[in-house]
Structure 1
Amino acid sequence: MEKILFIGAGSMAEAIISGIVEQQVLPGKQIYVMNKSDAERLCNLETRYGITKVCEDRSFMNEIDLVVLATKPKDIQQVMHDIRPYLADGTAVLSVIAGISIETFENGLGKRPIARSMPNTSATIGKSASGIAFNEEVTSEMKQSILSLLGAIGIVKVVKEDDLHAVTALSGSGPAYIYYLVEALEEVAVERGLEAGDARELIIQTLEGAAAMLKTTGEEPSTLRINVTSPGGTTAAGLKALENHEFKSVIADCIKSAEARSRELGALS
């Protein structure tokens, strides 16, 4: 893969671009970026990552190997209308737009290799958790190229397209849930007398340690939880409070609501 064009220059596009450049998948000059109106944003990306910004010229598009669609869902129909005349027949498309189906892209961009993925913003540091689905036009070679691209910014799992709604709700939006948890932990830690900086470090290390235990031991989360929980102890008291507030039901509602919104966005397209 020699040239990639990003259409859309928001946080997700930047996260992937950052991962690609930092992991040396492609040099910045082979990454083209265009967006609807924010010229200052393009200049910032150019300065930060050495990308090639795109203003008015579209003639180069027939030389692009992969177009990454990273716009807002409401803009996708206009974007497809604008770029279709310039794309070569074999140019592949990778969408990282929540909710929009492969069928929508096939209708808007014609018969071509199309992949649909949902990374998360941890791509910035090479720690994304992505799901991906492909249409039948994607060759084995192109599939490996796209998987390598996303693999450079984290892990990637090939799933059925319909399952991408759940992936979006789980790992696509997941970092926001974790950050919200950290906000809550910090607030109560400070309320109970800890210095804010100390609380932040303790929370981060706790999260890193728990994640490492899950990854390195291979134990079930329930087993690790039980190992931490002495009968009648402090952990048991804390877990009891979570149970009293139906913590698992709250998490289930969170994921189901995000998944439902992903499906709604797809229906709107």
Structure 2
Amino acid sequence: MNETANQAKLCFYGAGSMAEALLRGMTAANLTAPSNITVMNRQNADRLHELQRTYGVVPAPTEAAKQDALRTADIILLSMKPKDSAEAIRALKPLLRPDQLLVSVIAGLSIDTIHQLLGNAQPVARTMPNTSSTIGLGATGISFSDAANESQRAFAIAMFEAVGLASVVEEPQIEAVNGVSGSGPAYVYYVMEAMIQAGVELGLTEEAAKLLTAQTVKGAAEMVMSTGENPGELRRKVTSPNGTTQAAIETLDRYAFQEAMNKAIHRCAERAREMGDAIRSEAVGSPSA
């Protein structure tokens, strides 16, 4: 990897919403020049040119351009769909240099499986971002392989700090990150749906219920972040004995709200492991792996 961070050359293998979020954050933060970033995907050249117009990055629509970008990059971001990942990573094997960092945003794909697919201990950053990265408020867990050096680790962390918060964790905890924050926005949206529906049933317009709910969730999250207090303590502070909030919390407890949320997060983490096992099985079962 280049000694000067803003000279680092990157190749985005996959050009979906998460790749675009990172492009937006990185270019805004001037982590590297847009001309040092190449974007590629399987076959949608229109999408690549759209990203070029928006962010000034370099499209690689042809096979020759793709191979050149992969060979010359310092960092390759793997953001293809999980079902395509084993085949795509295996195809990288003859193109990689030992000093290139692979950054994966693929759910369930372990560092060990990447190494099995490549047949070597390539430097790898395994990450689990979430969709709030698209507005710069993401939460990402990152773990590194032993081969990743300090400058590679620092750059990978900076990539995800450009779209929100980044936390380094041991790889066995990545599935927990998936369960808590990776899929977390969907849980919050689900709760918000219920709040809005109840508000409408109680006579609010849908727009008023949506705005009040969204501001309430935003404010509650900011209270946790700004005060540093435990959410349980903040909840207790606003729950007066025999008051309206206590009546609501008791109803949630009666319907096992916390237990349901706990089981949902555990199931999410379990599903991530299942997806990873499927990719691993394909890697091990392939004659060329």
After TM superposition, is the score higher than 0.5?
yes
Alpha-carbon distance in structure 2 between the residues aligned to 1:134 and 1:107? 16
SS at match of 1:194: coil
My pick for the range that moved more, 90-99 or 146-155, is: 146-155
Alignment-derived partner of residue 109 in structure 2? 100
Alignment-derived partner of residue 51 in structure 2? 45
| Alignment gaps of 5+ in structure 2 | 280-289
Alignment-derived partner of residue 76 in structure 1? 85
Contact 2:38 2:69 in 1 (8 A): no
1:20 Cα offset (Å): 1.5
Alignment-derived partner of residue 29 in structure 1? 35
Change (3 A) 1:215 1:30: same
Question: How big is each residue's C-alpha offset from its partner over 1:230-249, in whole Å with a ceiling of 9 and x where there is no partner?
Answer: 11211111111101110011
Alignment of 1:190-201 (within 5 A): 190-201=200-211
Amino acid at match of 1:47: R
Alpha-carbon distance in structure 1 between the residues aligned to 2:200 and 2:40? 43
Contact 1:15 1:122 in 2 (8 A): no
Amino acid at match of 2:77: V
Amino acid at match of 2:28: E
1:31 Cα offset (Å): 1.9
Report the RMSD for the aligned CA atoms in angstroms.
1.5
Q: Does 1:140 align with 2:146?
A: no
Alpha-carbon distance in structure 1 between the residues aligned to 2:187 and 2:94? 40
SS at match of 2:121: coil
Alignment-derived partner of residue 20 in structure 1? 26
Q: Does 1:248 align with 2:243?
A: no
1:61 Cα offset (Å): 2.2
Amino acid at match of 1:39: A
1:191 Cα offset (Å): 2.1
Alignment of 1:1-269 (within 5 A): 1=5, 2-56=8-62, 57=64, 58-109=67-118, 110-269=120-279
The aligned length equals 269
SS at match of 2:147: coil
Contact 1:23 1:153 in 2 (8 A): no
My pick for the range that moved more, 204-213 or 238-247, is: 204-213
SS at match of 2:89: helix
Amino acid at match of 2:226: T
Question: How big is each residue's C-alpha offset from its partner over 1:8-30, in whole Å with a ceiling of 9 and x where there is no partner?
Answer: 12222222222222333233332
My pick for the range that moved more, 113-122 or 24-33, is: 24-33
1:164 Cα offset (Å): 0.2
Change (3 A) 1:24 1:184: farther
Alpha-carbon distance in structure 2 between the residues aligned to 1:65 and 1:49? 20
SS at match of 1:115: strand
Contact 2:14 2:78 in 1 (8 A): yes
Amino acid at match of 2:156: I
Question: How big is each residue's C-alpha offset from its partner over 1:71-97, in whole Å with a ceiling of 9 and x where there is no partner?
Answer: 111111110122222222211101110
Q: Which runs of 4+ in 1 moved over 6 A?
A: none
Question: How big is each residue's C-alpha offset from its partner over 1:92-112, in whole Å with a ceiling of 9 and x where there is no partner?
Answer: 101110111101111223332
| Alignment gaps of 5+ in structure 1 | none
